Structure 1
Amino acid sequence: MGARKRIRANQIKEAKKEKAFAILRGCPSSPQKMRLVADLVRGKDVQRALDILKFCPREAARKVEKLLLSAIANWSAKNEGKRIEDASLFVKEIFVDGAGILKRLRPAPQGRAHRIRKRSNHVTIVLGSKTAVENVVKE
């Protein structure tokens, strides 16, 4: 690895240490269904997002809710001594990427077969603090 590449990799690593995030990999539902739930909570306060996900009837909402709780736990581990209410956390980023596809065959009439694609996805949640954003703006 070259010097510039190593320096950039270290910068990215340091930036990741400051972020509070959680990643769900290989979730067995289609990315399209998961994006519908992700769009509901993008940019919302953490408590409001948890309420939305709790009462959303979709199965994907349960998985995103659990992932959001994991991201909150990661934030509290990095920021010991701070209260979540004082930091006013919000969902800064949430995005869904496609993962591997399981290809299966379903029998069809007259000896044919139709291909079934069982999709899966990766979900990433990044939390932000409104107080940290205000401190950066003041400086």
Structure 2
Amino acid sequence: MAEENFEAKATQKHLRRAPRKVRLVVDAVREDRVDKALKKLEFTNKAAAAEVAKVVMSAAANIRDKFQEARLDNQDLYIKEIYANEGATLKRIQPAAMGSAHQIRKRTSHVTVVVAKKEEFDN
């Protein structure tokens, strides 16, 4: 146990945004420092940016809670992994002409963030 693995994970499930739209935001902050990623998300003009920021803050809080003796700050942490997978799809019906109906698929996302301690030799 000489080498400790400083990383923690946070997951947001059933986010009511399409994964295709969430991935645009997620790709912008991949492998950034946590403080830099949160600042970038604050000024991103996408609806999913606020939700992704919450998950990043939760992962940072999880690693601080897990390793309390290490005194980790947002500058010491970076986003090791971040991805948005497809969640359950809510199926709804839109009435259409002549008694027919069109199906509406309301997609959801699962956002997962893994943060880790930044090593001294990393940029």
- Shorter-chain TM range is 0.7 to 0.9
Percent identity, aligned pairs only?
39
Change (3 A) 1:86 1:39: closer
Aligned to 2:58: 70
Aligned to 2:33: 45
Q: 2:109 aligns with which of 108, 116, 121?
A: 121
Q: Could you list the runs of 4 or more consecutive aligned residues of structure 1 that deviate by over 6 angstroms after TM superposition?
A: none
Aligned to 1:34: 22
Aligned to 1:97: 85
**Aligned-partner Cα distance in 2 for 1:105–1:46:** 41
Deviation at 1:43, TM superposition (A): 0.6
Q: Does 1:81 align with 2:69?
A: yes
Which runs of no fewer than 5 residues in structure 1 stay unpaired? 1-16, 135-139
Change (3 A) 1:113 1:120: same
Greater C-alpha radius of gyration: 1
Alignment size in residue pairs:
117
TM-score normalised by structure 2 residue count: 0.87
Deviation at 1:127, TM superposition (A): 0.6
Alpha carbon RMSD of aligned pairs, Å?
A: 1.9
Q: 1:106 aligns with which of 94, 106, 118?
A: 94
TM-score normalised by structure 1 residue count: 0.77
SS at match of 2:119: helix
Higher relative contact order (CA 8 A, sep 6+): 2
